[in-house]
Amino acid sequence: MQRRTLIAAGALGLGSLAGLRGTSAAGGRLHGGAALAFGTTISVVVRHDDADTARLAIGDALAVVARVHHLMSIHDPRSEVFRLNRDGVLRSPDPRLLEVLQHARALSQLSHGAFDITVQPLWQAGREAANRGGVPTLAERERARALAGWRDVEASRERVTLRRPGMRVTLNGMAQGYAADLALRAVRRHGIRDALLDTGEFAPMGDAGGRQWTLGVLDPRADGGLAAAFAADGRCVATSGDYGSAFTADFRHHHIIDPATGLSPPELASVTVLAPTALEADGLSTAFMVMGAHSAHALATRLPGVDLLTINKGGHVWRSHGFPALRT
C-alpha cells in the first residue's frame, strides 16, 4: 500500500515534531519513534517520565500500524486486500478488515456514493494515462467507471466478495486513519496520556507538556508552504488535497476521483477534517473533496464532533464554526 499521498499527499504538516523529540517538557520528556509503512515514514511521539515505558509504547504503536499496512496493502501479494482484488473473493477475512469495510459501506451510504472504495480501476486508468503524458480517453474512463460500485462489495465473517469480474478496491482512504486509531489505543495501554501519532492522518492525545500539539495545513499551491496552523483539540485530523498525486500539472486530474463521473472533482484544492476518530476523519476528507464545499459543510453539521476547513482552487478558505482558530 502506498501512503495516502495518493489520496491526501502530505496533507498536514507537523512543523514542530522534529524539534520536540527527546526534549524536556513539563511533567515528562518527549520521546519519538518512526518506521516505514504506507509507503512513507510514520511517526509517534509520546510524553512520559519513564523512557522504557515510552519505548515500549512507541514500539507497540508502530507494530500495530505495520500490521494494518500488511493487512490492507493493495500492492503486497500477502495482504488480504491484494488477494481480494486478485481473486474476487476472500474467505475468512480478518475482523479488522471487516471493520473497515463496514465503515466504508456506511460512509458510501451517508455520502450518496461520493466515497467509494471500488474506484481503484479509475485511479489506475488515470495513473497509466499520466505515465503516458495524458489523461484517460472517454472509452478508457467509461470502462473503468463500469467497474465501480460500492453496493457490489459483499462482506461477512465468512467471506468478502466482489460481485463483478475486474472490480478492485482500495482502502487507501481509510487504512491510515484506522491504523492511527489502533496505534493510539496501543499507546494508552501503557498508561501514556500525551501522544501524537502521524500515519498520514493525525491522532493527538493530551499535550506536549504545557504546549498544545500544533498542526499545519499545507497551502495547496505553495510547495511546502502553510496555508494556516491550528492547535489540536483532541480530535483526529485528516486532509485530502488535489496536489497529493496530481495526474496533470494544472491539478484538474488527480488521485481523488468522483465515481459518478470518472473525473476528479473540480471545485476543491484541499479539505481538512476533524473528527472523533482518525478513521472517520480519513474517509470524510475524501468524501468531502468529491462532494464540494457546500454539500460537505452541510453534511458536517449533521455529524457529531465533525468540523472541516475547505480551500477551493481559487484559494478561498471556509472554516466550519467548530474548527479551531487558525494561526497564520
DSSP annotation string for 52-65? HHHHHHHHHHHHHH
pLDDT in tens, 144-188: 999 999 999 999 999 999 999 999 999 998 999 999 999 999 999
In this structure, is residue 103 part of a structural domain? yes
- Helix, strand and coil in the chain, % to nearest 5: 35, 25, 40
In this structure, is residue 115 part of a structural domain? yes
Closest to 209 measured CA to CA, from 57, 324, 53, 48: 48
In this structure, is residue 146 part of a structural domain? yes
In this structure, is residue 299 part of a structural domain? no
Eight-state DSSP code of residue 118 = G
In this structure, is residue 20 part of a structural domain? no
Per the structure, the complete domain to which residue 142 belongs is given by 80-162
pLDDT in tens, 81-135: 999 999 999 999 999 999 999 999 999 999 999 999 999 999 999 999 999 999 9
Cα 57–Cα 240–Cα 187 angle in degrees, nearest 5: 10
Domain CATH for 148: 1.10.3980.10
Cβ(242)–Cβ(254) under 8 Å? yes
286 is in an annotated binding site: yes
Cβ(223)–Cβ(19) under 8 Å? no
Does the global pTM surpass 0.85? yes
d(CA 230, CA 307): 13
d(CA 323, CA 307): 5
User: What size, in residues, is the chain?
Assistant: 328
In this structure, is residue 140 part of a structural domain? yes
282 is in an annotated binding site: yes
Domain total in the chain: 1
In this structure, is residue 229 part of a structural domain? no
**Amino acid, single-letter form, for residue 295:** S
Cell of 113: 456514493
pLDDT band at 301, cuts 50/70/90?
very high
- 217's enclosing H/E stretch is strand 214-218
Residue 274 to residues 134, 140, 176, Cα–Cα distance (Å)? 35, 36, 15
In this structure, is residue 218 part of a structural domain? no
